[in-house]
Chain A
């Protein structure tokens, strides 16, 4: 277990200078997520063009892992259609929860920087919060009027 593996330069950079930070107004869909255990809170706002994410922003307060993960996510999903977002979410989940020595899935891009999280089981929720929140925002848009309760990792 190595801290350097968790706090890679990419993570520290995205924590310090989160990309796509803020709120899209107006937006097509939005969702709040929180991780009550450590107090991470974030809001994801999206603008869609058909099935595709035309623009995305996030804002909130959180630890370095949750902030960097959200920032990396916004970069990765911009321009993707729903099916691709879902596929990538699956890859991220696999990466965060796979046994430490297992091989990385293909197609992660910069998100591979989060690989170190799997050595720190207590931190997996931090990294996955933004993805769950994004999924909730998309689900809400797909089924308007559905429950809008904030996503919780607890």
Chain B
């Protein structure tokens, strides 16, 4: 791995040891439970990851001993809460390599992060301006831009994908022009698993002076992110895909860009002074955080980052890639099973259909066998349409997934075949 000055000694120590998935699983209370009397094979980490004990405990400890509102009271408890919340911001800053705390905005999640940019930065757009996205975006990275285009008269352009689920990089480049103001794309497709060539995409966008927004929801738990090295203007992600709690996420924004953006929600905390003749807004990042934030969520997110750093994100990634390879091989041997998304570089996500069994029926049958997979359109209906399927089943892996999960999935698929004859 690439050692970074802010890596903890623990991380390096962990590097030397072999990856012990049983020990990783032991950190997650949920694996002590059963589903309908069966072992839980949780293969839906791409939708939401399970939380380790360290996160659950950190949130509970905060609630028990440190909760008050932040940035307000002069009393000790409020100071403790503020320290915990701002400490979490610093933890996130180090995790993604942001240059300053002013660049780390807490939001409800990736979706809100993208909406913040669309609503605030987007106010400057007008007819003739263009936004470029890709065909494999999650609805959260499509709809806010459609809404912005409707409001502003700007035009939304969509870069095509091919049958393997790869971005057509030449077509992407050809869609860029001096009219392109923002390029927004996912780092890893949630529906197909495709890892996009985001460095090339960012460089191409920059050549036209366009800003870049990376949807990192599916990437951030599986590879080390350094926003400065990437050179993107915005990076959005959610805590709950990073083994943290739901209801909190992050928008990284480059300070020079954020500085020129108007507030988007008004309220407490985002102001310096309020009078009926006018209001002055708070500095970054608070200007974009109106109202009492999700304090315990931030504490949980910081604990999740600590936990994942101690485990070693690169080691977890290598483990997940091994599972992806073995699961792809095992599923490919099942007659009538079609894998949707066969990019050369994939995150640990396998979308598939089984001939003669609708994905929704498959979901129910797998559930009866203790196997949790996502079935549906994965909030990526254009992708489903492109591959001409109404829905797919999707198995996705995390740091705690193991080969028994794969075996259980394969056996359950055999069972589905029996039920449907």
Contact = CB atoms under 8 A, between A and B. Distances in A.
Interface stretch (B83-91, B165-173, B244-252, B361-369): B361-369
B364 A6 contact: yes
Contacts of A65: 360-361
Interface in B350-391: 357-361, 364-365, 368, 375-377, 384, 390-391
Interface in A78-106: none
B408 to A, nearest CB: 16
A117 to B, nearest CB: 10
B36 interface: yes
Interface in A7-28: 7, 12
A56 interface: no
A7 B361 CA distance: 9
Interface residues of A, number: 20
Interface of A (DSSP majority class):
mixed
B377 A39 contact: yes
A54 interface: no
Contacts of B357: 64
Contact of A123 (B364, B391, B421): B364
A62 interface: yes
B165 to A, nearest CB: 18
Interface string A108-125: 000000000000101100
Interface in B276-314: none
Contacts of B359: 38-39, 63
A12 B421 contact: yes
Interface string A47-73: 000000000000001111100000000
B75 interface: no
B419 interface: yes
A1 B421 CA distance: 21
B146 to A, nearest CB: 17
B376 A37 contact: yes
Given A12-B420, A64-B361, A65-B361, A1 B391 contact: no
A72 B237 CA distance: 46
A41 interface: yes
A101 B13 CA distance: 56
A78 to B, nearest CB: 25
B368 A38 contact: no
Interface in B338-360: 357-360
Contacts of A120: 364
B391 A39 contact: yes
A3 interface: yes
Contacts of A12: 419-421
Contact of B375 (A6, A38, A62): A38
Contacts of B361: 7, 63-65
A40 interface: yes
Interface of A: 1, 3, 6-7, 12, 36-41, 61-65, 120, 122-123, 126
Interface of B: 36, 357-361, 364-365, 368, 375-377, 384, 390-391, 419-421
Given A7-B419, A40-B390, A63-B361, 8 more contacts: A1-B368, A12-B420, A38-B359, A38-B376, A38-B391, A62-B390, A64-B357, A65-B360
16 contacts: A3-B365, A6-B364, A12-B420, A12-B421, A36-B377, A38-B359, A38-B376, A38-B390, A38-B391, A39-B360, A39-B377, A63-B359, A64-B358, A64-B361, A65-B360, A122-B364
